[in-house]
Amino acid sequence: VSLFFGVDIGGTNVKTAVVSDTGDILYKHSFETLAERGMEDLCRRLKETLVQGLDTIGRSYDEVAGVGVGLPGFLDIENGVIIDLVNLGWSNIPFIPIAEDVLGLKVVMENDANVAALGESWTGAGRGAKSVVCVTVGTGVGGGIVINQRLYRGVNGLAGEIGHLVVDRDGYPCNCGRRGCLETLASATAIIRRARELQQAGELDSSCSITGAEDVFHLAALGHDKAIQVIHEAADWLGYGLALVANTINPDVIVVGGGVSKAGESFLQPVASSFRKYALPLVAETAALRLAQLGNDAGVIGAARLISQRVLA
């Protein structure tokens, strides 16, 4: 029986878990990223965490088959090099050789949206499914595609970049430099922007200050028509984007995660009805639309899955 160390590195926090070969978290610990201390320092703290975790659960270091790491940005997987992690201020770092040297274990890496998708497809909402499309709706819209329980990453890991499907050619500018990407219309950012526009136009109660998408969901739950409309517009765009992806992939499960998905059925239902409106009927019929189940654990579980497939396959 092997253990896997799943690591999810974010700009603020690093989440880690010791995961069994069935995807159960046996030990979990997070710590501050402190990216300014550099990558080697982070790897040393990862090792300390792993040693402490194994000690806590009474297991030994040589039972660990390897380490999977999710990272937020552009990676050269083939050469094990971090090309650019904007949130951490790291670029052109030979991550894999250094991490393997410090940890003394096989290490693999992948971008964070992809590992989260792999996690949900392993033990979360996509458990047991053949093909899973995961979409993460938060500040932006991210995604990942898992086919036959393996991550489909494309030539350079950009498969599943659902958020940058251009769905409105003359639309709002996007962080990627294009206009009208799905994430400019279906993200938390889009929901907040639209609600504020309506407040300024005097069409939506401006006594409530809108700092997050949850404020708009709150107003909608109170019955404010315009807030409901804002959410339905964002949901309609998301369902449209998912229909484009579903017609291409023909998945059996589509998982909706991220901050906005915390609104639950009040977001999923309008997304589902929009999805059915735009997808081919047979595609829509066979694709189950589900809320993500693993929350913040998706990354560490997916990272563990990534390394388990590498060392056990």
Name the residues that contact Zn ion, by CB under 5 A: 164, 174, 176, 178, 181
CB contact at 8 A, 9 and 70: yes
Report the nearest approach of Zn ion to the CB of residue 95 (Å): 26
20's enclosing H/E stretch is strand 13-20
Q: Which two tokens stand for residue 298?
A: 């998706």
Residue 255's φ and ψ, nearest 5 degrees, are -105, 130
Return the HEC string of 99-121: HHHHHCCCEEEEEHHHHHHHHHH
Residue 47 one-letter amino acid: K
d(CA 241, CA 249): 13
Closer of 114 and 184 to Zn ion (Cβ): 184
**Collapsing DSSP states into helix, strand and coil, what is residue 159?**
coil
- Nearest approach in angstroms of CB 84 to Zn ion is 16
Which of residues 194 and 290 has its CB atom nearest to Zn ion in the complex? 194
3-class secondary structure, 25: strand
Nearer to Zn ion, 174 or 242 (CB): 174
Give the 3-state secondary structure of residue 173: strand
Residue 261: CB minimum distance to Zn ion, A: 20
Nearer to Zn ion, 158 or 312 (CB): 158
- 245 SS3 class: helix
- CB 43 to Zn ion: min, Å: 32
Q: How far is the CB of 207 from Zn ion (least distance, A)?
A: 34
Shortest Cβ distance from residue 241 to Zn ion (Å)?
12
- The nearer residue to Zn ion, 37 or 178, going by C-beta atoms, is 178
Residue (20 or 180) nearer to Zn ion, CB: 180
d(CA 189, CA 296): 20
